[in-house]
Structure 1
Amino acid sequence: MGPKVLLVDDSGVMRKIIMRALNAINVSDIIEAADGELALAAFNAGAFDLVLTDWNMPNMSGLDLLKAIRATGSKVPVILITTESEKERVLEAIQAGANNYLVKPFDQDQLLDKLQRYIAVGA
């Protein structure tokens, strides 16, 4: 069985794009959430190998989700996906416990490069 991924983005289109990229590298155990609150409930209800989350979302941001996950003591890898590329934002994410950062727009190779550091992936 492959890695279990929690995919969080308020854009259904972006979730589909990322899911397609994950499926292409044989990652198929994916739970989707449309915002941080739903994602935190899913996270608390199941064991995940990786969390991919958008930064800017309604109800609970990806950064707040990251902080909530770290507050549980979990060391699960969290990659923030965002259009924000300013150095201060990157530092804020890293200080909050993000394992990595992916700036939109990105391609499948960039996503694969980030993922293979944390989970076993194969084409």
Structure 2
Amino acid sequence: MKQICVIEDDPWLGQLLELSLLQVFADAQINRFDKLQPALNHLRGQPLDLLLCDLKLPDGSGLDALSLAMQRHPKSFRVLISSHIERHSVQAAIHAGATDFIAKPFSIDSLLDRFQRYGASPGQAPVTSHLGNLDDFLKQRLQ
């Protein structure tokens, strides 16, 4: 069972990430946090296969979570999600331990493709998205 941690302060985006992850990793244990400090406490004491983390959080930087995950869980995938894709942000993420970077906005299909690369079994059938894209998901949630 995959141990996944999602740190995202936007509740809708957090839910979208969780639903997308469950399409690829149906039996995953997903722990979702909207603040950095509780997530750091979790990362200190729990196993981790995949970390998805927003850069800007209400109580700190997602770079701190990447750094801790790299120290405690060096074999994990550590993914920074951000709309801040300037060169220095990407370099800081790599230095903090990011193994991948997802720029906002993103399509659901590209997100699912990434997730499959993070550990889907060889030969597993591709996932077909029923979520659409981020804009459609958010519009649906606003109705």
What TM bracket, shorter-length normalisation?
Answer: 0.7 to 0.9
Q: Equivalents in 2 of 1:17, 1:115: separation in Å?
A: 13
Matches of 2:109 and 2:19 in 1, distance apart?
Answer: 13
Superposition pairs for residues 9-48 of structure 1, below 5 Å? 9-27=8-26, 28-48=28-48
Q: Higher relative contact order by CA 8 Å / sep ≥ 6: 1 or 2?
A: 1
Runs of 4+ in 1 over 4 A off after TM superposition: none
- Which one has a larger percent helix, Structure 1 or Structure 2? 2
**Sequence identity (%):** 30
Distance across 1 between alignment mates of 2:43 and 2:64 = 13
Match of 2:4, SS state, is strand
Gaps of 5+ in 1: none
| Aligned length in residues | 122
Q: Based on CA coordinates, which of the two structures has the bigger radius of gyration?
A: 2
Matched, 1:119 2:100: no
Deviation at 1:7, TM superposition (A): 0.6
SS in 2 for 1:116: helix
Partners in 2 of 1:19 and 1:57 — Cα distance?
18
Structure 2 runs not aligned, ≥5 long: 128-143
RMSD between aligned residues: 1.8
Give the drift of 1:60.
2.3
